[in-house]
Structure 1
């Protein structure tokens, strides 16, 4: 048994104290606060120190990791006992179980292999099951009906968010992960309510399988895969399979285009880093506007002018992302690119450079997104709607090139440029739709 596995077991035991919340009520925060205090000033050596100490704790001579984890748990416990709108106790317990037992599952896998995909899978699977178990035990104690579809949805979203944050942050940042997961699950619990279990199971199966395929093909890194799976689940649950189909078309076609003639692009100096695998930053830069749109659509319950605006903002942003990706990946294979602001010839790979071949590929991507959106989303007037989506994609593509030629590399990084381009494409589609339709 490794030190990491024993330490994770100790943290899982601390997380299990959350099960006392239904009985303790407002006093739930006390045991966690006591543990935090003792860890910070009372334990400096001995068996308990050896059990809970992380590498940095040995240098400081105190259990900072345990203290931070317990303080974050105490903060969530306080939120779960505020008088008016408390954090649901089931979410409080489920959050602690997801992180505490998810770490234990990850360390159990790590005793056998260090393969990143498998260790993350160990975290997600164990955290997911523990999250369901924690929420179920609370419902059992409180004698309330078990909403299986909701607790399953919260458990998988919590496990994915926790795994993603742990990939991006450090082990010492677990308190931040704990608080973030708890607050996000609170939001989704208020937003989602109930959902058909068949739809939820289908969402889980489809997104996990496609996420594993994307990682296996090398079109996504581990963090990029987690982000994509999380976005996929949210798209299906909050919007429907039509929203997911539009988004996955971008990820699939965009990922394959980055692999297309990758060796040639590498020789020309225009290839994406990390062998073309998309990371979290790239995924979020291209899909953040789409995520906000589906959240907005769910908040307004899919009705009224705002729902129409969110629908077209979603499609226009995805059309921008796919058009820009195809324009860059295909256009980078051709000579004689020209800077969009001056039309002077520049070296391949120059920010803001375009080729006619790349522009045609980009327009094909925006048109494809428009057609797909017309078929699978309730956009209203069919062909005009497809044209509006494609127009928004073209605007976003153009904004991306203009920003690349003027601000990228200095004031803005590539991910900010992608975000602003998808935002402009989404707003253009939404504005034109409201005006014309």
Structure 2
């Protein structure tokens, strides 16, 4: 890549793309004001470090935002914290992008701004970091797709720890539709990564088939990330039915009958921990595969 492009044009492109997407997301109620500000910095960073990383965060953001807006009338009746358009604030933005942002900064420093393919024989650390970023967005996208489509399923969810039927909106409740959606969400991240890597980086003809292995890996990572999230939600996140609001809520109260879980983690914490675990597991898997 021409050094002058990296030095001048790439930062300009990153800031321009980040600001346009953040502004559009704010106008469409996908992000609150604080979320748009955080989103601007996060998306600009991803574009600056590498287009394949930008492809993953954009695939996650645009597909998840679209699915969040699907079936809003139904979701309004189930979710006690429903927001029109699914507005995400800065905490939610960072919970879903913070770990990946740290990893790509580390990659940028270690590679001195040069794009490298995953090849553990050349650099196990680079491979592990790239794998971690991939796993991060597989978990984010898989879990969001699972939640947004699973709640619209006609099937009654079952608590992942006991397989007993529970009310829609219960943390840790899973459906077949939701699990399939999680796998599909992960595969979308893999496809976006592979396409941009093939278009922007020369890894050698002997590495092309290995690159394609990212797609089945991300499919599994999306499913696993959603399962981990559900296990944490069913055990460490409180769910109870409020007799007044007639909805499943996340905090105990005098009018709330407990369904499952302990009041240890809130939704953002559950997301963060599940993302962290999926990031680590995918990173390790990439060391063996690539």
Same fold (TM > 0.5) = yes
Deviations 1:133-155, CA, capped at 9 Å, x for gaps? xxxxxxxxxxxxxxxx9xxxxxx
TM-score (norm 1): 0.53
Q: 1:267 and 2:77 equivalent? A: yes
Q: 2:80, 2:185 → 1: CA distance?
A: 20
Q: Give the deviation of 1:274 after TM superposition.
A: 5.8
Aligned length: 244
Q: Give the deviation of 1:270 after TM superposition.
A: 6.5
Pairing partner for 1:408 from 237, 241, 258: 237
Q: Describe the SS at the equivalent of 1:233.
A: helix
2:147 match: 328
CA contact (8 A) 1:220 1:277 kept: yes
Q: 1:292, 1:272 → 2: CA distance?
A: 30
Q: Give the deviation of 1:321 after TM superposition.
A: 0.2
2:245 match: none
2:257 match: none
Give the number of the structure whose alpha-carbon radius of gyration is greater. 1
Q: Give the deviation of 1:300 after TM superposition.
A: 1.5
Pairing partner for 1:293 from 83, 99, 103: 103
Q: 1:260, 1:201 → 2: CA distance?
A: 34
Q: 2:37, 2:219 → 1: CA distance?
A: 29
2:39 match: 228
Q: 1:256 and 2:66 equivalent? A: yes
Q: 2:181, 2:60 → 1: CA distance?
A: 13
Aligned 1:11-410 pairs, distance under 5 A: 195-237=6-48, 239-269=49-79, 272-273=82-83, 275-301=85-111, 304-335=123-154, 336-377=156-197, 380=207, 381-409=210-238, 410=263
Taking a change above 3 Å as real, the CA distance of residues 326 and 271 of structure 1, as seen in their structure-2 partners, is farther
Q: Give the deviation of 1:267 after TM superposition.
A: 1.5
1 or 2, which has the higher helix percentage? 1
1:67 match: none
TM-score (norm 2): 0.79
Q: Which has the higher contact order (CA 8 A, sep 6+)?
A: 2
Q: Give the deviation of 1:281 after TM superposition.
A: 1.1
Q: 2:211, 2:17 → 1: CA distance?
A: 27
Q: 2:21, 2:79 → 1: CA distance?
A: 30
1:39 match: none
Deviations 1:328-353, CA, capped at 9 Å, x for gaps? 01111124111011111000000000
CA contact (8 A) 2:187 2:216 kept: yes
2:242 match: none
Q: Structure 2: which 5+ runs fail to align?
A: 117-122, 239-262
Q: Structure 1: which 5+ runs fail to align?
A: 1-148, 150-193
Q: 1:233, 1:267 → 2: CA distance?
A: 36
Q: Give the deviation of 1:385 after TM superposition.
A: 2.0
1 or 2, which has the higher strand percentage? 2
Q: Give the deviation of 1:275 after TM superposition.
A: 4.6
